[in-house]
Each structure stands twice: as C-alpha cells, then as structure tokens.
Amino acid sequence: MCIRLLTLCLLAILPGIGMAREELPAHLRLPPGFVAELLVRVPGARSMAMGPGGTLFVGTQRGGKVFAVRGALGAVPQLLVVAEGLKMPNGVAFHEGALYVAEPERILRFDGIEARLEQPPAPVVVGDSLPTKGMLHAWRYIAFGPDGKLYVGLGSPCNVCNEPGFSAILRMNPDGSGREYFARGIRNSVGFTWDPETGDLWFTDNGRDMLGDDRPADELNHATRPGLDFGFPYCHAGTISDPEFGGLGHCKDAVAPVQLLGPHVAALGLRFYTGIMFPAAYRHQVFIAEHGSWNRSKEAGRTGYRVTLVRLKQGKAVSYEPFIEGFLDGEEVLGRPVDLLVAADGALLVSDDTAGAIYRISYRKTE
C-alpha cells in the first residue's frame, strides 16, 4: 500500500508521466457507467488538436508554450514542448501534416511536426495582421472546417462596444489567403465545431458582463450559411436589447441562439459526439466545456465549472443538462474545463487550464 501511494504521488507531480489508467480525479462526478481518468499533466492546458499519428497538441494562454503529448492514448504519454516564447498561443489546429498555432496578431504553421517533436521546425507565418486592440478577448480559437478553410475567432476587444473588424468569426485558406468574415455579431467565441452530418458550423458565445448576476445567458449558436449576424453588440441572448448599443439593430433581425446556456458560465470548447464508445443516446449530441464565472456576486454563487450536454432532435436543442461536475467545491475552484476532443477510441478528452490536466472520459458498460 505504501509503495502504491508513493507511486501515485510521484505520478501526480511529474509532467509527461502516463496517467491514463489511474482513476485519480475522484472529485469529478459523471453519469453512471462513465469514468474519468487523468491522462497527463499539461501546465495551463487550453485548446487541443490531434495529429494522425496519435500526438495530442495543446495550446496555452499564459505560459507562451505549445505542448505535444506523444502517444496520448497509450500507456505512458510523453509530454514535450514544441514551441515557446509565444504570445497567448491558445488556439491549435492540425491540417495536412502541419500544426497551426494562433497568436493574437498572427497564425503560425509548423510543417511535418509530428515526425520532428524533439526538434520542431521553424514556424511559417500564414496569417498576420489580425485585428488587435488590447488584450481583452485577444486569445484566438482556430479550427479547420469541412471546406478545408481555417476559421479564426475574433473576440470583442471590450465588454461591449462597436469596433469594426472584431466580434466575428473569420475564415481563410490554409496559406492565409482569401480572408473573409464568415459570421458577425459574436461577442467572444472560444469554441466552434461542425455538425458531421450537415457540415454546419456550431459555436459558443460568451455573453456580456455588467448586466447583473443572471443576465445575459451564454449562447450555443448554429450558422447554417455564411454572412449571418448574431446580434452583438445590440442584442444579447436573443431577446435582450443592449442599454447602450440597442439602437444599432433589433433582436428580431439577429439569428437567435439554438440554446441559452447558464449566465456567465464562460462556455468555451464544444464537440459533437462522433464516437461509438458512449451509449447511443449520446451520439450526435453536443458537449460543451463551461470554464466558469468570475464576476457573479458571492450571494448569487458561481456558475459553470462543468461540462454540459445539449441534446438535439432533428437539429433542434431539446435539453441542456450537466454531464461532468465537481470542478467546483463550494467556493473552492478545483478546475476549469476549456476544450473537448473526441479521441479515436471514442473517449472524450477534456482540458483543464487551472488543474493543468487532460482528462479522459470513457464509458464502461454496467450490468
């Protein structure tokens, strides 16, 4: 027993050591049959992308580093630093053998990196001069769509304002050419994904602050085509006219959210569940990482700090419910989920930038 406890302590403090089969995060609560495992420690773990060779790439916000987890789903994942000294490299994406990394002003590409993890190549700048104005919401989320284009979130540089060039999702060709605004009126999306059946874009949006503890709600949105306006800064949560910028438009003219999420939950990464490990009731449903509120009053209590599930029926949201809880114990923050990824084996990976961890969520059939 003593030897086993010592081993667990060493595994908990040594980054890069395999943790995939140790069911250590006992504070996490899941539905019956689901199991949470600590896959690997990654300091400040934010956005994730998986290479075809089984390497998990992880961006950070404050550390300036991009990590690679070699053999992420193997018995002993190995943690490596593949880039450092960067400016808020939150967003990562993998496309045709290359790792794309987003900084506030530019997109970098690391070619052939999965075969060169110990000696990463020098990056190529494929998209620069992205609009920036201060550091609020300057961290980028990026992902490749089914059209082969790179999508980039451009958060509002303020709580609420009307700044041209921001509050949108941009897309471009993989080489940085052909830039265009795909969607506007989006305060700050730090997570988007595509419906595997229709190819439509779905994304989260963080609601504005300073309208009270319980309004507005964060949003889950669905873009059926390019060129849509989702209402920011004049409309929030589909029905709330902004007290200062409401004159810029009418809520009835903006695309309404598919699902209202909790107020100030800081909804970030999301994924359609495309695996076959989970029961059929979870397939083609949407999981959302809720990073958690920061400015609700003590009386109102914190919101978020969990992974939620939005159930869909014929493309419409029919319910919104907790899936993973336990990142918050009273007022004590034990973790803050950021991004989600469906692994090749059907497990759900969850990044946590506060605990510095990647969790693996699996399902074991119960009798």
CATH code: domain of residue 166: 2.120.10.30
Residue 367: its pLDDT value, please? Answer: 53
Specify if 4 maps to a domain: no
Q: What is the mean pLDDT of the chain?
A: 93
The predicted model scores a pTM of 0.93
What band does 147 get if pLDDT is binned at 50, 70 and 90? very high
9: which residues sit within 8 A by CB, 6+ positions away? none
Of 24-33, 145-154, 246-255, 341-350, which range is least confident? Answer: 24-33
Residue 366: its pLDDT value, please? Answer: 67
275: which residues sit within 8 A by CB, 6+ positions away? 283, 342, 343, 345, 346, 347, 348
What band does 96 get if pLDDT is binned at 50, 70 and 90? very high
Specify if 43 maps to a domain: yes
Specify if 29 maps to a domain: yes
Specify if 14 maps to a domain: no
C-alpha dihedral, 315 to 92 to 29 to 26, nearest 10°: 160
Specify if 5 maps to a domain: no
- The answer, yes or no, to whether residue 22 has pLDDT greater than 80, is no
Burial class (CB in 10 A: 0-12, 13-18, 19+), 338: buried
Q: How many domains does the chain have?
A: 1
Where in the sequence is the domain holding 357, given as residue range(s)? Answer: 19-363
